[in-house]
Chain A
């Protein structure tokens, strides 16, 4: 009995110690969750007085929670729409953290390296090009023997930032896609099957001969999937990689409020199907102590944190964007 009471007392005192630490809550996108988790882990060694708690509930959830102010910061793979942003009680800022790419993966005998351009990809996903040996594809890939087989399109069934980036790209290279389908985390796909999550799409593509689908670059590299080189607006076929994504970010047009799209940027080495993920923070923080800790963390993230991005297969912000982000962080009041 005495031992039980003592252990209970010990456990209770532990919780008291834990609550002496400041807890900052965030919620939102699942795409950057691995890098954010690593940042929080590393930052705990830099400043042990603050602890971060992040829940990957999805971009939609992140936007809702920061609007309701149940969390201290939100995270979203797509920028908030004007109507959603108007609901914010105070000025709400988007600050980009890292970027990722969307690659086109396929299942063809021999795993050839394909070259595709934007209009061809759009036509495939619109269901207009239905066979692999179509002249549009064969013309860009001389020397590759393409089978006379149906193309099976695979897309995401769940809403996701990856779909947002991909449909954003298709809208920018195909007017028909823009009017008929549009861009969103979830759209009315004209053709193909839906797979759940990156594993669902990749699994479906791997299992079905003649399938084509889109997945995150990090996922494709980790699972050694074959992916295509895509033609960018400068006319070069670029292999998706962390460097080509950072190059895309460096040449993208970034307005003052950071709500930008970086698909099809003008750079010569830029990979065209890429997108960034944002943190959503209020300009005026509600709690001064928490606000101060949050700003310190953000400053660390944009200087030291960005160096960890490449190891986890995220593209870090290029120097010019990093400087602008730090400037925005300096303007946060608490």
Chain B
């Protein structure tokens, strides 16, 4: 008999027998093969990039990452403006898309009447289905003129004391690139955040209400802190897409390999320059340099993901934020 307060032991049976039937074995191996294929594919991409970048890596060394010249005529190449552009445009996209996406997800799970939830979800999913090029075209003909004539001028008027918002306004700019990418990663961030918020157990909310919290306090204390990890994961997924976004960005970012403090200045990203110049690259070193940019992009994506995982561990301290 158990002592009072002790839970009853969970009944366990004999351990499961190892698979003996052919179907079980075959399925196990097929699943293993599928997993290995994916790992092998990533490895193959990385190796192919390294192999293609070989001569450029040997020629330029580590200075490639800090050099700002991109001159196909004299075969001098450097990746710094592209790395800067990729990081800055992705950062702008995250700053815009994550608060917007999480807020939308919160509205859909906490406030929206049940009737309008499905239609709104469908509309957001459709945003994800629009091809990248269409966003780019819409950006050139609709967004850029409006931003150049109204939004950017207002920004310069209101925040012009910051070096971020100084300088001539062309329309195509780093900020325009960031905004377009924000629109593109919004569906991912929103739908994953929504799933995460939906998975918060009602018990958490009820407990917070029972303690006398207001609706906002319930959301802040019980829902958001429980969902911290998941929302961070959604942001990282969005960032992954933002780093690689090519077509829409290249149409609105101005395609100028320059590093500038102003968000209104044109920029260039790693993915855009590869897409623009790969087909017409005639000299071998030129091609190798473009391959090297691809390798840099791959390493950048991996690094950012690793960094995100580390940050996640420190933010949440390993715990999931449950109100116990």
Interface residues of A (CB under 8 A from B): 57-61, 63, 78, 80-81, 83-84, 150, 152, 157-161, 181-189, 192-196, 200, 203-204, 207-208
Interface of A is mostly: loop
| A81-B283, A187-B72, A196-B250 known; A158-B144 Cβ under 8 A | no
| CB-based contact A203/B72 at 8 Å | no
Minimum CB distance partner of A207 in chain B? B145
Give the complex CA separation of A81 and B272 in angstroms: 26
Shortest Cβ gap from B256 to chain A (Å)? 6
| CB-based contact A193/B172 at 8 Å | yes
Shortest Cβ gap from B197 to chain A (Å)? 39
- List 14 A-B pairs, Cβ < 8 Å: A59-B280, A78-B282, A80-B282, A83-B283, A84-B282, A157-B272, A158-B277, A182-B74, A183-B73, A186-B277, A189-B256, A193-B254, A193-B256, A203-B141
Shortest Cβ gap from B147 to chain A (Å)? 11
| CB-based contact A159/B280 at 8 Å | yes
Give the complex CA separation of A181 and B76 in angstroms: 12
> Which chain A residues lie closer than 8 Å to B74 at the CB level?
182
Give the complex CA separation of A305 and B277 in angstroms: 31
| CB-based contact A60/B279 at 8 Å | yes
Shortest Cβ gap from A162 to chain B (Å)? 10
Shortest Cβ gap from B113 to chain A (Å)? 42
Looking at A84, A161, A194, the one whose CB has the most chain B CB atoms below 10 A away is A194
Give the complex CA separation of A131 and B277 in angstroms: 30
For B170, give its contact among A152, A160, A161 (CB under 8 Å): A152
Shortest Cβ gap from A175 to chain B (Å)? 15
> Which chain B residues lie closer than 8 Å to A187 at the CB level?
71-73
Give the complex CA separation of A231 and B168 in angstroms: 32
Give the complex CA separation of A186 and B170 in angstroms: 22
Give the complex CA separation of A183 and B276 in angstroms: 17
- Number of A-B residue pairs at CB separation under 8 A: 96
Shortest Cβ gap from B170 to chain A (Å)? 6
| CB-based contact B256/A158 at 8 Å | no
In the complex, B281 has a CB within 8 A of chain A? yes
Give the complex CA separation of A207 and B275 in angstroms: 24
Can you name 19 extra interface pairs (CB under 8 A) apart from A186-B281, A207-B171? A59-B282, A60-B287, A81-B283, A150-B168, A157-B255, A157-B276, A158-B275, A158-B276, A159-B276, A181-B73, A182-B73, A182-B74, A192-B256, A193-B172, A193-B254, A196-B251, A200-B251, A203-B140, A204-B172
| CB-based contact A208/B250 at 8 Å | no
Give the complex CA separation of A204 and B172 in angstroms: 9
Minimum CB distance partner of A77 in chain B? B280
Binary CB contact string for chain B from 66 to 79 against chain A (1 if under 8 A, 0 otherwise):
00011111100000
| A157-B250, A188-B70, A188-B72 known; A194-B280 Cβ under 8 A | no
> Which chain B residues lie closer than 8 Å to A150 at the CB level?
168
> Which chain B residues lie closer than 8 Å to A84 at the CB level?
282-283
| CB-based contact B72/A194 at 8 Å | no
In the complex, B266 has a CB within 8 A of chain A? yes
Shortest Cβ gap from B125 to chain A (Å)? 28
Shortest Cβ gap from A42 to chain B (Å)? 27
Shortest Cβ gap from B163 to chain A (Å)? 21
| CB-based contact A207/B144 at 8 Å | yes
Give the complex CA separation of A63 and B249 in angstroms: 29
For B73, give its contact among A60, A61, A184, A207 (CB under 8 Å): A184
| A60-B279, A63-B282, A194-B254 known; A184-B170 Cβ under 8 A | no
Give the complex CA separation of A185 and B287 in angstroms: 13
Binary CB contact string for chain B from 278 to 300 against chain A (1 if under 8 A, 0 otherwise):
11111100010000000000000
Minimum CB distance partner of A171 in chain B? B73
Give the complex CA separation of A7 and B33 in angstroms: 35
Give the complex CA separation of A57 and B282 in angstroms: 12
Give the complex CA separation of A80 and B284 in angstroms: 13
Looking at B144, B170, B279, B280, the one whose CB has the most chain A CB atoms below 10 A away is B280
Shortest Cβ gap from A71 to chain B (Å)? 15
Binary CB contact string for chain B from 242 to 259 against chain A (1 if under 8 A, 0 otherwise):
000000001100111000
Shortest Cβ gap from B269 to chain A (Å)? 11
Shortest Cβ gap from A133 to chain B (Å)? 18
Shortest Cβ gap from B135 to chain A (Å)? 14
| CB-based contact A193/B266 at 8 Å | yes
* 6 nearest CB pairs, A to B: A159-B280, A58-B279, A194-B255, A157-B255, A182-B73, A188-B71
Minimum CB distance partner of A76 in chain B? B282
Give the complex CA separation of A60 and B285 in angstroms: 13
| CB-based contact B140/A207 at 8 Å | yes
